[in-house]
Structure 1
Amino acid sequence: MTETQPKSVDLLIEARWVVPVEPHGVVLENHAVAVDGDHIVALLPIDEARRAYVPRETISLGEHALIPGLVNSHTHNPMTLLRGLADDLPLMVWLQQHIWPAEAKVMGPEFVRDGVELAVAEMLRGGTTCANENYFFPDAIGATYRKLGFRAVVGLPVIEFPTAWAKTQDEYFERACEVHDSFRGDALLGTAFVPHAPYTVSDESFERIRVLADQLDIPVHLHTHETAQEVEDEKKKSGLRPFQRLQKLGVVNDRLIAVHMTQLTDGEIAACVEAGVSVVHCPESNLKLASGFCQAEKLRKAGVNLALGTDGCASNNDLDMFGEMRTAALLAKAVAGDAAAFDAPFALRAATLNGAKAMGLDAKIGSIEPGKQADLAAVRLDDLETQPLFNVPSQLVYATGRHQVTDVWIAGRRKLAGRVLVDMDVDGMLARTRAWRERIAAH
């Protein structure tokens, strides 16, 4: 009987625990992930992996959990440069009196580039490997993500007033199509329409978005039902709740990524299930702006695809998906009055595979499975703050801090090595960030 010869692969990552997310709730002890090129070849016990593969590089993570890279399903990453600018204010005061005026002074390609670079560094150090981006100058945003080798869905903005990006409705759509075409076929970048919100986007624009999203086969990612005031204002204006208006316009379908959704009826939840809508829950931003409480457990039980996002650093004030998982799980229990609500394995799923599904990327990322892209994060669990360890998913969600992320890979490329960012000029980044702080503060 002839023995099978070991196969050559680029990388073998050996870990004390592997949490693949799919199958749900599973934790594999003393397992290895074999990676070749940009994809996962196999997930198997370490002893078997050593016999089956000859890796060019082996990384042994003795007291780590290896998880899929976290997916931040709603963020405005250039706004890292506005972190802490206008805190402790309600949404509309924060937005209209502080954020929009500040952006009007500084928004441009350089602001976007430097903000995204700072955000990527922060996300990588927190185990995040993919972002669903929503901001102006998507051409500069996408170019920066591409340069840094970070995975993202880049938003194509539409809003009914002039900005530094576009002046008219037609210009928003013309530039959106140009940006989409420029990133078509990119290995790490996709696009989505990002109409700001029902209260800032017209019926005509939503109808154009619906047609174009179908033609281009991309998602529609928007804030909706963020506050009770938003709902009441829309009812006075059109006689409809915002979600009803979106239904009437044909936007409620399986392309829709609805962000915040703190004001929902049971009928609207059922309609999300029927239409295949994904909901992105941003608990920390909602809490900080006093926007309301998303009925996360109701959505989960109903079968809605529920993902997690941080929102932007101007309203959160960080891009910490570990913090978001913990807050989401704790808040859901309080809102539902049920200590079993939004349990730890589901929190991890919401921060990985569900986010990938919302963005149309679940065939590529979000779980550790052969054939998928090697987007991975290693989390050290032997720190005193995470000892003793009885249950890995619970420890990841309720006790772990992002500072325990040691290594990160995107499409098989190492982006964080022993807490050190790979191929990023940290000193230069910090110098540019301080310069923006001075410029913004001067206004």
Structure 2
Amino acid sequence: MVELVRAAKAATMIPGAPVIKDAAILVDQGIIREVGTFASLGKVHTGDVLDLGDVFLCPGLVNAHSHLELAHLRGKCPSGRGFVVWVEDLLKQPIFDLEPDALDEAVKELKRTGTVMVGDIATRFAKEMAGMLAASGLFFAVFCEAIGETVPKRTFIPSGEFEAGFLSVAGHSLYTTHRNVLRAAKKESRERGLPFSLHLAEHDDEVAIMAGEPSAFLDLLQARGRLLDFEPPRKRPVRQALDLGLLDETTLAVHCVKVTDEDIVAVRETGATVCLCPRSNEFIGVGRAPWEKWFASGTPLCLGTDSLASNHDLDLWNEALYIKKNFDGELSLEDVLAMVTRNPARILGAGDTLGTLEPGKVASFALVPDTLQALF
């Protein structure tokens, strides 16, 4: 079926391209064939027209970082009291229970708010999460999270092929995942040509653990029998990630809150992408990433909601609104939209399919809310 989609405005998100007024997008069997104005495309199109009216279209959104396994913990975790308190409470929750109704509601929320792809972290149920996302119609990258001290004999990534997504591997963190496991996980993702994800420099305790300084979080972990033989590298988190070879153009470094100017330069030079999760950072109480310095550095930036154990919802527009309202300096609408469209699509391996509105891409759209437009 060939259809012409009409909207008052459309941001194609092709770098440097202007917003199209009275936009038209020719769609054939779910694939974009042409993009232009209705005045031009409407003259030659003789089929159906879907007139969306006075709306502002952009590509479907890509949530670069979530933990859908924790969907059932919405509203059940403490906020604003710091990382250690949040983790202590989280560990008391049924974190390894999968609740189908909660997952179904989470997927509905993602789709309702314009998200078409998610980069999801799966600690225990990677194949189940991939299967659920495949059935939902969302595009996805499910990262099997590597934690602990043991390198698997064969692979980190369970077998499975999915039409709209794939499985990859992520390191949980520099302190909960042994350095040999992190190296092996990154090596496998690199050999398979897959993206790699890592929580990096999220909170003060991570910096202290890396430096060999006293840490309430390390005490908590060791009381639970973890990290008993941990040897601190006595480096900042970014430096340790660099020295382990974890940062390159296929790495998605998540959070990056506790960083120095030197750290920012070092990450930029590797070509890695940074995923900011500003509302999650505020919810937990770990502080605020230096968004302005990350942006000024030229580092590719994405936005992620993180989990419903550390956020109020999975609405990426709320993430975009938050960062725009609190950004100290100039941030254009294209800059913000890039963080939720083309940048995450590229790092999650979907740059040929999603992220921009141009011929050959999947015809997936989101509506830019009036509340965000009003800020520009």
Q: TM-score surpassing 0.5?
A: yes
The amino acid of 2:340's aligned partner reads A
TM-superposed deviation, 1:114? 4.0
Give SS of 1:310's match: coil
The amino acid of 2:350's aligned partner reads L
For 1:31-430, what aligned pairs fall within 5 Å after superposition? Answer: 31-55=23-47, 57-88=48-79, 89-95=81-87, 97-104=88-95, 107-108=96-97, 110-111=98-99, 113-136=100-123, 137-160=125-148, 169-170=151-152, 174=155, 176-178=156-158, 181-183=159-161, 186-236=162-212, 237-333=232-328, 338=329, 340=330, 342-379=331-368, 381=370, 394-395=373-374, 398=375
User: Is contact 1:78-1:114 (8 Å) kept?
Assistant: no
User: Is contact 1:307-1:358 (8 Å) kept?
Assistant: no
The amino acid of 2:152's aligned partner reads D
TM-superposed deviation, 1:29? 0.9
TM-superposed deviation, 1:297? 1.7
User: Is contact 1:40-1:371 (8 Å) kept?
Assistant: yes
The amino acid of 1:362's aligned partner reads G
Per-residue CA deviations over 1:377-414 (Å, capped at 9, x if unaligned) read 23575xxxx6xxxxxx733xx49xxxxxxxxxxxxxxx
TM-superposed deviation, 1:187? 3.2
Task: Could you tell me which runs of 5 or more consecutive residues in structure 2 were left unpaired when the two chains were aligned.
Answer: 213-231
Q: Structure 2 CA distance, aligned partners of 1:101 and 1:58?
A: 54
Per-residue CA deviations over 1:338-370 (Å, capped at 9, x if unaligned) read 3x2x33321111111111122132222111111
User: Is contact 2:60-2:341 (8 Å) kept?
Assistant: yes
User: Is contact 1:66-1:376 (8 Å) kept?
Assistant: yes
Q: Structure 2 CA distance, aligned partners of 1:119 and 1:331?
A: 26
| The structure with more helix, counted as a fraction of residues | 1
Q: Structure 2 CA distance, aligned partners of 1:330 and 1:127?
A: 20
Which residue in the other structure is 2:227 paired with?
Answer: none
| Aligned residue pair count | 355
Q: Scaled by the length of structure 2, what TM-score is found?
A: 0.89
User: Is contact 1:116-1:141 (8 Å) kept?
Assistant: no
The amino acid of 2:357's aligned partner reads I
Taking only the aligned residue pairs, the percentage that are identical comes to 26
Which residue in the other structure is 2:216 paired with?
Answer: none
Give SS of 2:55's match: strand
Q: Structure 2 CA distance, aligned partners of 1:290 and 1:249?
A: 28
TM-superposed deviation, 1:53? 2.8
Per-residue CA deviations over 1:162-191 (Å, capped at 9, x if unaligned) read xxxxxx6427x64x332xx312xx331023
TM-superposed deviation, 1:25? 6.6
TM-superposed deviation, 1:250? 0.9
The amino acid of 2:127's aligned partner reads D
User: Is contact 2:145-2:171 (8 Å) kept?
Assistant: yes
TM-superposed deviation, 1:238? 1.6
Give SS of 2:282's match: helix
The amino acid of 1:153's aligned partner reads A
Per-residue CA deviations over 1:306-361 (Å, capped at 9, x if unaligned) read 1111111110111111110011122221xxxx3x2x33321111111111122132
Give SS of 1:154's match: strand
Q: Structure 1 CA distance, aligned partners of 2:250 and 2:339?
A: 18
Per-residue CA deviations over 1:134-163 (Å, capped at 9, x if unaligned) read 1230101111111111111111111117xx
User: Which moves more between the two structures, 189-198 or 299-308?
Assistant: 189-198
User: Is contact 1:305-1:358 (8 Å) kept?
Assistant: no
The amino acid of 1:63's aligned partner reads D
Which residue in the other structure is 1:20 paired with?
Answer: 12
Q: Structure 2 CA distance, aligned partners of 1:210 and 1:351?
A: 25
Q: Scaled by the length of structure 1, what TM-score is found?
A: 0.76
The amino acid of 1:116's aligned partner reads L
Which residue in the other structure is 1:404 paired with?
Answer: none
Q: Structure 1 CA distance, aligned partners of 2:2 and 2:17?
A: 28
Which residue in the other structure is 2:222 paired with?
Answer: none
The amino acid of 2:139's aligned partner reads R
The amino acid of 1:198's aligned partner reads L
TM-superposed deviation, 1:303? 1.0
Give SS of 1:129's match: strand
